[in-house]
Amino acid sequence: MSSLFATLGTAGNALDVLQQAIGVVQNNVTNATTPGYVTQTLQLAARPFDVEGNLSGGVESTGVQSSRDQYAEQSVWTANQQSGYASQQSASLNQLQQIFDVTGQSGIPGALSTLYSAFSAWSSSPSNATAQQSVLTAAQGVSVAFSQTFSQAQQINSDNNQELTSSVSQLNQYTSQIATLNGEIRTSPGNDAGLQAQLYNTLEEVSNLAPVTVNIQSDGTATVLLGGQSPLVQGVTQNNITLNYTQPANPTYPNATPSAQLLTPQGQDVTSLVTQGTIGAGLTFANTTMPALLGSGSQQGSLNQLAQGVADTVNNLLTNGQISAGPPAVPGVPLFTYSAAAPTGIASSLAVSSTITGSQLAAINPGAGVANGNATALANLATKPDTNLNNLSFSQFYGAVAADVGQQASTASRNASATSAALNQAQSLRAQVSGVSLNQQATQLLQFQESYQASAQLITTINTITQSLLSVMQQAG
């Protein structure tokens, strides 16, 4: 008779197990849209069953299994690093390219063109006061155009630096969260799907910021390495990364904007490890893209190069010319001034000489003895190759700089769409592998419901049988 009661016990136990299974389904369904959450499955196993050996069988749970796929997570992180880099780079470059005029009618090319035209008009009537004044006004326009473009570029640079600062502090915040989560995971019993979801969600956020390698330890904690080398999180220990601005050793241009670097708490420079993620893009922009325009410790910057080229060439022609053939001959004076002490700030310091007047513009070319020879030479600068600017004319040099930024922006924009598509693909692959499928959960719920009802019915039936057995005993008694 013991087996009849054992069967009753087994059926009762099955109800408990099925309740757990329904609980897991409930948790899955309610967390279907929770970031980082993956489908959990209660593992069911049949108990040993032997009629003769009095083993009554039944069902038991062998624990909750997570459907997390490390490979799918890893590909999302990799795609996220690339997408973070490309989209950040595309956004910055897109902003940067807006400061470059492509019509030739405004900005630096427009101002240069106006200056050439003023030189040309002045060359046809060199002693005309209005024509002379136009040259001074146009030169003023050139200096304003350079300093405006320079300050716009500086603004974009400083915006980028601010974003970089906030991205680095976000990274530190996330890694500190991971360290805290690691601590909770160590002490929590079993595989807490909620903690795991938080951990993986944070890891995904980190991968958008910087290239990290994640190793999951046997105790479930995550070790996060920056660029695969420098530890950000190890167990409950977190290493804060600091953003620092510094000049290289023995800079050619000591007054230039310093370059950005990332330091570990031990003071180790890990800048070169950060080649992906939004922080990687911020570093590339701050240390490569902007210095090419604004200058750095090791280069003058194309805007400064162009500003100096224009000023030097114009001044050189004017000072070699004559204001009056005399006798006595009056040599020309420079039109532009700039701070030669700061070669990386010439685009900003370029100005029209405060002492020059219209009548002091040297129109005479003393060599050829032509009264407007110098003025004509100045007007011809429009197309004249400049030896200091790779034998390009000013407008060509500017065009090359703008085209370079445009090319970078165009490539970055293409990369941004490509990597964003790759990220979407990786995410959707991961969702297929480990995401919560409501239909699947619904079918499971139906199955468990039926099993539950059947088991309950079983108990009722066995109970009836037991009752009838008991009544037989009573009658016999």
Partner 1 sequence: MLAGLDAYTSTFLSALNTTENRINTANEQLSSGYRVNQPSDDPGAIEAILGYQSQIDQVTQTQSNLSQATTMSNVADSALSTASNMLNQLSSIATEGASSTSSATQNASLGQQVQGILKQLVSVANTSFNGSYVFGGDDPTTQPYTFNWSVPGGVVQNNTASVTVAVTNSDGDSLVIPPQTAQQIFDARNADGSVAASNIFQNVYALGQALQSNNQAGIQAAASSITTSIVQLGQATTASGVTLNWLQQSSSSATSKLTSLQSQLSGLRDADAAQAATDLQTAETAQQAAIAAHGTLTNLKSLFSYFG
Q: Which residues are bridge partners to 231 per DSSP?
A: 225
Q: Is 330 in the site for partner 1 (CB under 8 A)?
A: no
> Which residues are CB-contacts of 140 (< 8 A; sequence separation ≥ 6)?
352
Q: 41 or 410, CB closer to partner 1?
A: 410
Please count the CA atoms within 13 angstroms of the CA of 292 that sit on its side-chain side: 12
> Which residues are CB-contacts of 402 (< 8 A; sequence separation ≥ 6)?
97, 100, 101, 102
Least distance to partner 1, CB of residue 67, Å = 11
Least distance to partner 1, CB of residue 220, Å = 24
Among 387, 439, 474, 475, binds partner 1 (CB under 8 A): 439
Map residues 364-403 to x or -, x wherever contact with partner 1 holds by CB under 8 A.
-----xxxxx--x--x--xx---------x-xx-xxx-xx
Among 262, 281, 436, 459, binds partner 1 (CB under 8 A): 436
- Rounded to 5 degrees, what are φ and ψ at 377? -60, -40
Residue 226 to residue 242: CA distance in whole angstroms = 13
Binding residues for partner 1, how many (CB under 8 A)? 70
CB 200 within 8 A of CB 73: yes
Residue 148 to residue 130: CA distance in whole angstroms = 26
Fill in the amino acid letter for 188: S
Stretch that binds partner 1, among 251-259, 284-292, 293-301, 439-447 (CB under 8 A): 439-447
Q: 99 or 335, CB closer to partner 1?
A: 99
Residue 375 to residue 382: CA distance in whole angstroms = 12
DSSP string of 178-205, one letter each residue: HHHHHHHHHHSSS--HHHHHHHHHHHHH
Least distance to partner 1, CB of residue 437, Å = 4
Among 4, 45, 442, 465, binds partner 1 (CB under 8 A): 442
Stretch that binds partner 1, among 25-33, 172-180, 273-281, 350-358 (CB under 8 A): 25-33
Q: Is 266 exposed, middle or buried (0-12, 13-18, 19+ CB in 10 A)?
A: exposed
Strands 222-226 and 212-216: antiparallel
CA angle 206, 210, 212 (to 5 degrees): 75
Map residues 114-133 to x or -, x wherever contact with partner 1 holds by CB under 8 A.
x-xx--xx-xxxxxx-----
Least distance to partner 1, CB of residue 281, Å = 16
Residue 267, sorted as left (phi over 0), alpha (psi -120 to 50) or beta, turns out to be left
Q: Is 322 in the site for partner 1 (CB under 8 A)?
A: no
Residue 337 to residue 348: CA distance in whole angstroms = 11
CB 193 within 8 A of CB 40: yes
Stretch that binds partner 1, among 97-105, 226-234, 264-272, 300-308 (CB under 8 A): 97-105
Q: Is 102 in the site for partner 1 (CB under 8 A)?
A: yes
Q: Is 19 in the site for partner 1 (CB under 8 A)?
A: no
State which of positions 411-430 bind partner 1 (CB under 8 A): 413, 417, 420-421, 423-424, 427-428, 430
Q: 337 or 396, CB closer to partner 1?
A: 396
Q: 95 or 148, CB closer to partner 1?
A: 95
Q: How many helices and strands in the chain, by DSSP H and E?
A: 12, 14
Among 3, 26, 98, 246, binds partner 1 (CB under 8 A): 98
Contacts to partner 1 by CB under 8 A: 29, 32-33, 35, 93-94, 97-98, 100, 102-105, 109, 112-114, 116-117, 120-121, 123-128, 369-373, 376, 379, 382-383, 393, 395-396, 398-400, 402-407, 409-410, 413, 417, 420-421, 423-424, 427-428, 430-432, 435-440, 442-443, 446
